[in-house]
Amino acid sequence: MAKYDVQFKVKLVKEYLSGNSGYRLIADTYRVDISQLRYWVASYQHHGVSGLENKRATYSAEFKQQVLQHIEREGLSDRQAAALYNIRSIGTIGKWRRQYR
């Protein structure tokens, strides 16, 4: 997976939020995955620039359970929950789900 710096992410997010370009055009122009761009936009909307910064974190069992319960209760996708809870890797939530089961 390619690593992108915060300035690059902010540039693309702001371009999308300006309303002049859609996800597909921006993703194709800058050669990024469209789902990644959607995640950056959602994360930025919930957490600002800090939502786009690289982060290494450990999460408590209580936090993991809270996220999984919120997903179930509200019918959220893993991508939506990751943006809402500022979890950088969407796959992390799937891993938690498998461990919980």
What proportion of the chain, given as a percentage, has pLDDT over 70? 98
Average pLDDT over every residue of 74-93: 90
Q: Tell whether the model's pLDDT for residue 1 goes beyond 70.
A: no
In order of 45, 53, 84, the CA distances from 12 in angstroms are 13, 14, 19
Q: What is the CA radius of gyration of the chain?
A: 14
Q: What is the pLDDT of residue 53?
A: 85
Cβ contact 91:82 at 8 Å: no
Q: What is the pLDDT of residue 3?
A: 83
3-state secondary structure of 101: coil
Cβ contact 23:16 at 8 Å: yes
pTM as predicted: 0.66
Q: Which of 68-72, 78-82, 84-88 has the lowest mean pLDDT?
A: 84-88
